[in-house]
Amino acid sequence: MAVITNINDLKRLHRRRTPKMFYDYAESGSYTEQTFRDNTSDFAKLRLRQKVAVDMSGRTTASTMIGRDVAMPVGLAPVGLCGMQSADGEIKAARAAERFGVPFTLSTMSICSIEDVAAHTTKPFWFQLYVMRDWDFVERTLERARNAGCDALVLTLDLQILGQRHKDLKNGLSAPPKMTLPTMLDLATKWRWGLGMLGTKRRFFGNIVGHAKGVGDASSLMSWTNEQFDPKLDWDKIARVRDMWGGKLILKGVLDEDDARLCADFGADALIVSNHGGRQLDGALSSIRMLPRIVRAVGDKIEVHMDSGIRSGQDVLKALALGARGTYIGRAYLHGLGAMGEAGVTKALDVIQKELDISMALCGERDVKELGLQNLLIPDDFEGRWA
Ligand SMILES: Cc1cc2nc3c(=O)[nH]c(=O)nc-3n(C[C@H](O)[C@H](O)[C@H](O)COP(=O)(O)O)c2cc1C
């Protein structure tokens, strides 16, 4: 493989090395994928303001997210089925994040369990929860996350019902994959992945199988989601989760100013402006486009984080300059994981940090915490006028 210089290089390797069903699961949005595409193309509409003859020595990308020191304000977003992109994927990603000094968020729908990830890391990670109909399961899961030392809960609000992703249905997505003829033919060319999977026992939903009552076959993410996720999630139930958890709380999946105000009034530690990477409401605005309004509405009351569409350090810079205090990457690190396992996640983080650092310097900034609107050129119609 030629030298890896950017996230796209990792993406190409990811595609080559990972079974089609899992690559497609990562690299798709819901329905027409309009929002999925907008998430990245809207970043490209923003431009950076070049400054010269400014001291650019002694730069730092270090910051904090909900009081935690971070080497750069870029966390690893919760991603389901990481352990199908690469064997033991959650453990690999968590270790890479820990060594890099950024937060790792473990998804409810992970392959490696909370306890497994805790046993292979030394610092606390964050846990992401989907609220299920079964409150015993919710309570036990929170208890397990607390016992494992997780020091923040990311509560996802935008997936109580699943937006359809056509490719997952067509590919018959399941974990572990069912051995149909097309899958077997595909796997024949993905020997590296197959060897990794043969060497691990972690091939099922580690937080669910054996923990949720009456769940025999949880291999189908889609049917499990449809049956188990609580469609009646409301603010009372969110308060119930907060009280059960009792620690730091981040509300994920906010794309509306009024919802953002509710999050701030609710007293959460942070909210994440997110459309789930374009995987849920197709037709929603991109996160980067919604970010400025949400920052204006609540930025002085609650930490505003964002994800969806970040593929470079320049993207991170743009989000921070628009007022985000922290950002997260999903696919950008999955590409690293699928391409090269733990080393690939480190590579993705390294690429993004270097891009962020160099771009900061060229913008005449030395401290990531000082980035602001002074660094951006924003087209008049960027936010749009929506009736
Ligand atoms: C393959 C995949 C699985 C995901 N699974 C989850 C999940 O289990 N829980 C969750 O809150 N978000 C999940 N997300 C959404 C991510 O946390 C994040 O919002 C999104 O990836 C950000 O967009 P980006 O991929 O463009 O960076 C998932 C995203 C992807 C791509």
Task: Please report, in tens digits, the pLDDT of each residue of the chain (387 residues total).
Answer: 679 999 999 999 999 999 999 999 999 999 999 999 999 999 999 999 999 999 999 999 999 999 999 999 999 999 999 999 999 999 999 999 999 999 999 999 999 999 999 999 999 999 999 999 999 999 999 999 999 999 999 999 999 999 999 999 999 998 888 889 999 999 889 999 999 999 999 998 899 888 877 665 656 666 777 788 999 999 999 999 999 999 999 999 999 999 999 999 999 999 999 999 999 999 999 999 999 999 999 999 999 999 999 999 999 999 999 999 999 999 999 999 999 999 999 999 999 999 999 999 999 999 999 999 999 999 999 999 998
Structural contact between residues 279 and 325, judged by C-beta atoms closer than 8 angstroms? no
pTM score, whole prediction: 0.97
Q: In 118-140, which positions are buried (b, 16+ CB within 10 angstroms) versus exposed (e)? A: beebeebbbbbbbbbebeebbee
CA distance 346 to 349: 5
pLDDT for 165: 96
Work out the angle between the directed axes of helices 287-298 and 257-266 (0-180°, nearest 10).
Answer: 50
DSSP calls for 92-124: HHHHHHHHHT--BEE-TT-SS-HHHHHHT-SS-
Tell me if the bond preceding 182 is cis, omega within 30° of 0: no
Residue 377: burial class (beta carbons within 10 Å; 0-12, 13-18, 19+) = exposed
pLDDT at 370: 98
The secondary structure of 197-227, three-state, reads HHCCCCCCCCCCCCCCCCCCCCCCHHHHHHH
Is 330 annotated as belonging to a binding site?
yes
3-state secondary structure of 57: coil
CB distance 165 to ligand 1 below 6 Å: no
The strand pair at 270-273 and 63-65 is best described as unpaired
- Fold assignment, 7-366: TIM Barrel (3.20.20)
Query: Phi/psi at 126 (nearest 5 deg)?
Result: -100, 150
* Residue 307 Cβ < 6 Å to ligand 1: yes
pLDDT value of position 189: 92
- Ligand 1 contact via 18 beta carbon (within 6 Å): no
Hey, is 126 helix, strand or coil?
strand
How much is the pLDDT for 218? Answer: 56
Q: Is 252 in the pocket of ligand 1 (CB under 6 A)?
A: yes
- DSSP 8-state code for residue 277: G
Question: Which residues face 328 on adjacent strands?
Answer: 75
Tell me how far the alpha carbon of residue 57 lies from the centroid of ligand 1, in angstroms. Answer: 36
**Interval between CA 27 and ligand 1 midpoint (Å):** 10
**Which residue out of 279, 286, 331 has the highest number of ligand 1 atoms within 8 Å of its CB and is therefore the one to mutate?**
279
Question: Tokens 């609107």 identify what position?
Answer: 373
Structure tokens at 155: 């509560």
Residue 373 CA from chain centroid, whole number: 25
Q: Which residues are catalytic?
A: 276
DSSP β-bridge partners for residue 156: 252
Measured in Å, residue 372 CA sits from the centre of ligand 1 at 26
**pLDDT value at residue 217:** 61
pLDDT for res 219 = 62
Q: Which are the contacts of 97, defined by CB distance < 8 A and separation ≥ 6?
A: 75, 76, 103, 104, 125, 345, 349
> Whose CA is closest to 6, among 322, 348, 385?
348
Q: Which long-range contacts (CB under 8 A, 24 or more apart) does 334-337 make?
A: 334/14, 334/26, 334/79, 334/82, 334/85, 335/7, 335/10, 335/11, 335/13, 335/14, 335/26, 336/7, 336/10, 336/14, 337/14, 337/82, 337/85, 337/86, 337/89, 337/92, 337/93
pLDDT score at 213: 73
